[in-house]
Structure 1
């Protein structure tokens, strides 16, 4: 009887170890699946089309922007945006210069092959709650949801 109990205990322990190993191996992929499930990505020919089809598109995006790519979190305010600007300058209403202490990093939960990972170091201004980097006529813009919510709370407190 003692031998049977030992074999059962060893089997249960072995099964538990196998489950733990499987969870560790699957964990990152499961996390990626979950994150991607809460993201929406789209491409638009022009800024006009992008703003007409997606209410979360920032109003400062010029109508004549082309090649617009957009990735957003559906569970928060994280956003990535890329667009070609024919004039090669920041859109009207944007502020040029290094973002101050309020600058927010590129949301780590969002990644897209069309959006450079090191772009935060090249920030050249802000457009609303977005940090932006302009490289020639290519605009890269990103918004960190936590920073946006903090800014909105601060604005609300300042008004009341």
Structure 2
């Protein structure tokens, strides 16, 4: 094989490596992002609060099937819980959501932000039947702390 043929093979090989590297970038980014997330499930609200200091105090002890996802690098959170009585927890009130959802979980439907009608602490919540879905935005948490508010 002459010089031109070897150069052509070298270009093809280098191109294959470059394409492979480009294909790995999204997976590497997803891996890095997942390293800063902690997800857990609990049978009850009391078990969730006993295990995690970051679990909101307003979550009823009697809530069941609690799912939780948190960022370890800030205050972004997702929460889902079944409420036996189908009512907002004590201390929650009707209100306009503040902030956006920055985390994703298979158990947190994408239409929840549009359905949110209440606030529980710094969480925005939507009550869908007996299911409570909530999220917390790190930027809202930071602003609240600067204003002297607490998370619950």
Correspondent of 1:98 among 77, 96, 99: 96
SS of equivalent to 1:132 = strand
**Structure 2, unpaired ranges of 5+:** none
In structure 1, the residue matched to 2:28 is 30
1:64 to partner: Cα distance? 0.7
Match runs of 1:1-160 below 5 Å: 17-99=15-97, 103-107=98-102, 110-153=103-146, 155-156=147-148
Q: Alpha-carbon deviations, 1:93-140, whole Å to 9, x = none?
A: 1111333xxx11111xx2111111121111111111111010011000
Taking the aligned partners of 1:69 and 1:48, their CA distance within structure 2 comes to: 13
Change (3 A) 1:8 1:78: farther
- TM-score scaled by length of structure 2: 0.85
Gaps of 5+ in 1: none
Quickly say closer, same or farther: Cα 1:146–1:9, change in 2 above 3 A: farther
Which protein is richer in helix relative to its size?
Answer: 1
Cα displacement (A) at 1:152: 1.7
Alignment length (residue pairs): 147
CA RMSD of aligned residues (A): 2.0
